[in-house]
Amino acid sequence: MTRRHTRQRAAIRRAFEAQGRPLSAPEVLELARPEVPGIGAATVYRAIHSLLDEGFLAPVVLPGQPPRYELAGMAHHHHFHCTACGRVFDLAGCLSGLQALVPHGFRVSAHDIILSGHCPDCSA
């Protein structure tokens, strides 16, 4: 199926590219509105689902939190969740030695690490 290239979709794509961090649909709506004042939440949700299907976005799952999305194809990384403002940030790198944390006989095949606390804006 061919996707339409609309101002709304372009603004949503640019929001992800400009922020460089995982975004929730409400954050995308807020970021796209200056460029497309009439954009609505339903348009943002439809575009996000379309961009997921196209492989432009990947989901970021934080337990107990609304879904967030980031640019697909990024190298393995983890996330920091600011518990004050709710924003999520990418963390570069990965911890080593995780196998030492699991019980004898278990083997780690994948992992996701989410650090929580306050971002610089909220810590000030």
- Does residue 66 share a domain with residue 16? yes
- Does residue 83 share a domain with residue 65? no
List of residues 6+ apart from 98 with CB closer than 8 A: 108, 111
Pinpoint the alpha helices (H) of the chain. 7-19, 25-32, 41-54, 120-123
In a domain, 110, yes or no: yes
Question: pLDDT value at position 3?
Answer: 61
- Does residue 107 share a domain with residue 67? no
- Does residue 66 share a domain with residue 14? yes
Question: pLDDT value at position 95?
Answer: 80
C-alpha torsion 22→27→32→36, nearest 10:
150
- Does residue 54 share a domain with residue 103? no
Taking every pair of Cα atoms in the chain, the longest distance, rounded to a whole number of angstroms, is 57
12-23: pLDDT as tens digits? 999 999 999 999
What CATH number does the domain containing 18 carry? 1.10.10.10
What CATH number does the domain containing 101 carry? 3.30.1490.190
In the chain, pLDDT over 90 holds for what percent of residues? 80
- Does residue 102 share a domain with residue 55? no
- Does residue 63 share a domain with residue 15? yes
In a domain, 2, yes or no: no
Is the pLDDT score of 8 beyond 70? yes
Rounded (5°) CA angle 31-65-72:
60
Number of domains in the chain: 2
Among 33, 110, 31, 26, residue whose Cα is nearest residue 68? 26
User: pTM of this prediction?
Assistant: 0.86
Q: Confidence class of residue 100 from pLDDT cuts 50, 70 and 90?
A: confident
Residue 99 belongs to what domain range?
Answer: 78-123
- Does residue 82 share a domain with residue 52? no
| 4 or 73, greater pLDDT | 73
Average pLDDT of the residues in 103-115: 90
In a domain, 44, yes or no: yes
46-91: pLDDT as tens digits? 999 999 999 999 999 999 999 999 999 999 899 999 999 999 999 9
